[in-house]
Structure 1
């Protein structure tokens, strides 16, 4: 039995339908990722399910026994509430029932016994007499400091408290809207583990491709008012979606060709009109209506960088650099050289010192110890995740224009309206105040401002927040084609893996170390214990100044000799893995075919089950190969 179901639901704002007679349901235990372009209506769908948005038509049904909890996109306030109070607010209705019961019971002679009995039954139905124990259980499960004030916690820990407020409700369905925004990688991976262990249903919106790949059991896409389900992983979804778009383009091209032929026929001379077939005329009218009603897919953003003349070969050179803040060592004895063309990612917990190091590299901050040599001819463009460079009261155009009607990009003049069109701003939207834009639109304004100025160094501080996945992928392509230098602070693991050539990891106690490659390359090379892998609370107070401790180089590993049986198994695994991957690819192509879902329901169900089983088999073979390889090492 499903937890919730939508039948023929429609929601429109103005003339634009966000949902056009969609059908959707979530079953117990499903983890469903909701994807789509910015503005497609994803958050609106979550509001419908959460009971905050009414529908224009259709039916929304929820299992009466299903409790729905939400982890909102907005971070909880850094106020004077304790963490325990924030978690307890998840049971606000139970708290109110308890307070009403206590107040009524305190009226010694005038107590209404009938009302007391009703309140008692309501409290028992919600297990309200054990409220304190339930809150304590969640605090222990999430390792939350119950007595600390929210104002003492980082954003990541406030997010943990918000998750506690949702989980304490013991929901059957949990709704999450961009849960990883502004979280560091350590907290994102902790959140992944918590959600993987959640036994209820999940519906979540996220641009974090690594999270979607690991967490989801099904992808659902909201596109031009229609909801399409793609069973399987995110990788499978990408293959299936590409096939569907190719088929749509072929269908539209054939339709447009046939419509053009009919338009030619209707305009022929007097002889043709005498023999005109009235049925054919009606069919043409219907084709015209169908064409006018067609909702074309929103165009992709299409932007390019205005590149400045090359900087010097050495952009910055740090020798023995150390820096502390408020008695805490952020950087300790760092030697590092940044050269032209490097694309460097900075990873570490929030507050570890990434922004401090950026300012030192750019010559904006003098370190407490060590020397910094900054290169020549540096033209820096800076993306600020706090959007402090935007005037929220001014329009999009005024923020970019700076008194100009056109801008010069790589030697060619572009009108601002045309330029902003590359960032998916229609003329009327370009004249809208920035304060009225969505988070994703604000980030596109930031990118438009960033790329309108000549630069040979790009400094990007969390550029991926709120961007839809298609814009993310385009930004990746732009950065890969950029001939200058890129400094990137990001908690998006896929983005780091796809863009950077090396990584500076903040590993605790001021220790910063460079690794070749992106995030997953760092995972393979890192020491066993670092600030990113210990999972220690950043919320707990540090009473003494930490000493800088050098992390030893990992020792070279010697190979152990496996038993004959295990060695035979290891030798045979590559062939098995290759065959399994080929079988998986074949199933992916079959389920991505345009007519796949037109087959008998049982055939479709069996094939999708086979696809899921084959994905599991490939994963198990890979895990076994890694396990046997590890057994050869000391």
Structure 2
């Protein structure tokens, strides 16, 4: 018997229908990867299945206890207790976890310790370091219950899931197979659809072209030559009537065949995300940023003391380290210019906070994007459209956006501003594959100074330049194996 079933499930936000799903079920032992672009409703669907969010239509039948690990639990948000303390040691985290990665580990420990028959995981790799992701992979392999996993980590999907649910364009498609098999089938389906569409367009164009030719030929027979006299014109008209009518009928038949061709739809275009960004006011100082003797605490505990860092203008740096080492704390210290941090004259930092704290949840997308921008509204709207927010969607409040949409909204603030230094803290968290590719392209072309905090090894390698490691309060050069 299925652990969970849903019938005629519907959810909308305002006038926007998020999805309509006729039926879905989860069987014991299922390992399901739930994929789809940002804003498709993946997190919403998990909450509907869990039961803390009501559907607008349909019903969910739950036949077992369910555990849910939400996207990056917010600081101060209470977490369920960990019933098996051994998991705390295994996951390398204590009850007083403070950093984003530590809180994710604590939420995982709480969910796994309950040993529920059904586990729902929403972006569990967000903010986890490499060791945490490897441990998550092992724990999921040993998990006895069914799992529904929302993640943009392709390696984790391939290793841990034996079925793929694709949530897109308001519907759910189920594929019984691994992630790479689903990718191959989707590409094959798109290729077949494109071939059928091209054949349909070609045949219709041929029929319409031949119909026009016959119609023009019939029209030509209707006209008498210029130098023909009246009597000759009458003779011409009589002799032309029969072939003219035949050609006109043939043209009409061909036009009818073209109209009656079974229509084949163009395959849907894959989402395109563009992030154009330039440096309009480069720095003249050879040193963009200097940190000397910096000390900081987070969650009531010291994370580093007497920390020093110098970044040259135009340099590219990636900052790595385990969860709880203080990487985000260092980023906030730089952004807030606390004592010990010196910006070069004319330095303008565009800060991407891991928790998107610079977004005003009550303001619209458009208002947030224009908050620190001198660009005219038309340019900001174009920028938002490049990120997938077109038309009336720019008036949605930031507080109702999905995690991936909030990340894109935070990038919109950067793209609309005028910065010569980018400070990015875990920028790939929540982003779908298309937005990640756009981000990689942006960073590859960026001419200003760059400091990126990430656990994403592919992104770290793409940044190039210098790699630093922060751990135990000490900052130094990262070992080559840290980049994979």
Q: Is the pair's TM-score, using the shorter chain for normalization, greater than 0.5?
A: yes
**1:72 matches 2:77:** no
CA displacement 1:17-64 (0-9 Å, x = unmatched): 734657x6655444332111012232344345445555867x9787x5
User: Given the superposition, is the C-alpha separation of residues 242 and 156 from structure 1 closer, same or farther in structure 2, using an over 3 Å criterion?
Assistant: same
Residue equivalent to 1:567 = none
**1:283 matches 2:260:** yes
Q: Which residues of 2 match residues 449-528 of structure 1 at below 5 A?
A: 449-508=413-472, 510-515=473-478, 521-522=481-482
Q: Within 1, Cα distance between the matches of 2:462 and 2:72?
A: 28
User: Given the superposition, is the C-alpha separation of residues 416 and 452 from structure 1 closer, same or farther in structure 2, using an over 3 Å criterion?
Assistant: closer
Q: Within 2, Cα distance between the matches of 1:403 and 1:213?
A: 41
Q: Is the CA contact (8 Å cut-off) linking 1:19 and 1:41 kept in structure 2?
A: no
Residue equivalent to 1:113 = none
CA drift at 1:3: 5.2
Q: 2:153 aligns with which of 184, 208, 227?
A: 208
Superposition TM-score, scaled by structure 1 size: 0.58
Residue equivalent to 2:138 = 193
Residue equivalent to 1:251 = 196
Q: 1:302 aligns with which of 270, 274, 282?
A: 274
Q: Which residues of 2 match residues 151-170 of structure 1 at below 5 A?
A: 155-170=100-115
Q: Within 2, Cα distance between the matches of 1:182 and 1:403?
A: 27
Q: Is the CA contact (8 Å cut-off) linking 2:165 and 2:172 kept in structure 1?
A: no
CA drift at 1:394: 2.9
Residue equivalent to 1:18 = 19
User: Given the superposition, is the C-alpha separation of residues 311 and 37 from structure 1 closer, same or farther in structure 2, using an over 3 Å criterion?
Assistant: same
Residue equivalent to 2:81 = 87
Q: Within 2, Cα distance between the matches of 1:447 and 1:333?
A: 29
Q: Is the CA contact (8 Å cut-off) linking 1:314 and 1:338 kept in structure 2?
A: no
User: Given the superposition, is the C-alpha separation of residues 176 and 341 from structure 1 closer, same or farther in structure 2, using an over 3 Å criterion?
Assistant: same
Q: Is the CA contact (8 Å cut-off) linking 2:98 and 2:324 kept in structure 1?
A: no
Is 464-473 or 491-500 further displaced after alignment?
A: 491-500
CA displacement 1:566-622 (0-9 Å, x = unmatched): xxxxxxxxxxxxxxxxxxxxxxxxxxxxxxxxxxxxxxxxxxxxxxxxxxxxxxxxx
Extract unaligned runs of 5+ from structure 1. 89-134, 409-413, 525-634
Q: How many residue pairs get matched?
A: 444
SS of 2:311 mapped into structure 1: strand
CA displacement 1:66-116 (0-9 Å, x = unmatched): 54432233627737x7x8xx338xxxxxxxxxxxxxxxxxxxxxxxxxxxx
Q: Which residues of 2 match residues 153-552 of structure 1 at below 5 A?
A: 155-224=100-169, 225-229=171-175, 231-234=177-180, 238=183, 241-260=186-205, 271-272=248-249, 276=253, 280=257, 283-284=260-261, 287=263, 291=265, 296-297=268-269, 299-312=271-284, 314-316=286-288, 321=293, 323-325=295-297, 328=302, 330-332=304-306, 334=308, 336-358=309-331, 364-367=337-340, 377-401=346-370, 406-407=375-376, 415-508=379-472, 510-515=473-478, 521-522=481-482
SS of 2:116 mapped into structure 1: coil
